[in-house]
A and B are shown apart, each in its own frame.
Chain A
Amino acid sequence: MGAQPLPADSNVASGVWWLVASEDRNIVVSEGANATLAIFDAEGAVDVNIDIMAGAELRLLHLVTSHSAAQIAIAVAEGGVCRATEIVVAPSDTRVVASLVGRDARFELGGAFILTDEDNASVTVDVNHMVADCTSRTSYKGVASGKAHGSFSGLVYVAPNAQHTDSEQLSRNITIGDARIETLPQLEIYADDVKCSHGATVGQMDSDAVLYMRQRGLDLATAKRLQIEGFVDDVILHSSVESCVELVTEVVAEKLNRL
Chain B
Amino acid sequence: MLKVENLHASVGDKEILKGINLEVKAGEVHAIMGPNGSGKSTLASVLAGNEKFTVTAGSVEFEGEDLLKLPIEDRARRGLFLGFQYPVEIPGVTMANFMKIAVNEQRKHRGLEPLTAAEYLKMMREKSAIVELDSKLTSRAVNEGFSGGEKKKNEIFQMAMLEPKLAILDETDSGLDIDALRIVATGVTRLKREDNATVVITHYQRLLDYIVPDYVHVLYKGRIIYTGDKTLALKLEKEGYDWLINDYREE
Which positions in A face B, CB cutoff 8 Å? 206, 208-209, 211-220, 222, 226-227, 229-234
Contact = CB atoms under 8 A, between A and B. Distances in A.
A215 B77 CA distance: 9
A226 B88 contact: no
A124 B72 CA distance: 41
B93 A217 contact: no
22 contacts: A206-B88, A208-B88, A209-B89, A209-B90, A211-B50, A211-B88, A212-B90, A214-B71, A215-B49, A215-B82, A215-B84, A216-B76, A217-B76, A217-B109, A218-B73, A219-B73, A220-B73, A222-B101, A226-B90, A226-B101, A232-B92, A234-B92
Given A212-B87, A214-B76, A216-B98, 6 more contacts: A209-B88, A215-B49, A216-B99, A217-B162, A222-B105, A230-B141
Contacts of A234: 92
B93 A229 contact: yes
A211 B72 contact: yes
Chain A interface secondary structure, helix, strand, loop or mixed?
Answer: helix
Interface residues of B, number: 29
Nearest to A211: B50
Contacts of A216: 76, 98-99, 102, 105, 158, 162
Contacts of B89: 209
A123 B178 CA distance: 52
Nearest to A223: B73
Contact of B76 (A206, A215, A231, A232): A215
Contacts of B158: 216
A259 B81 CA distance: 28
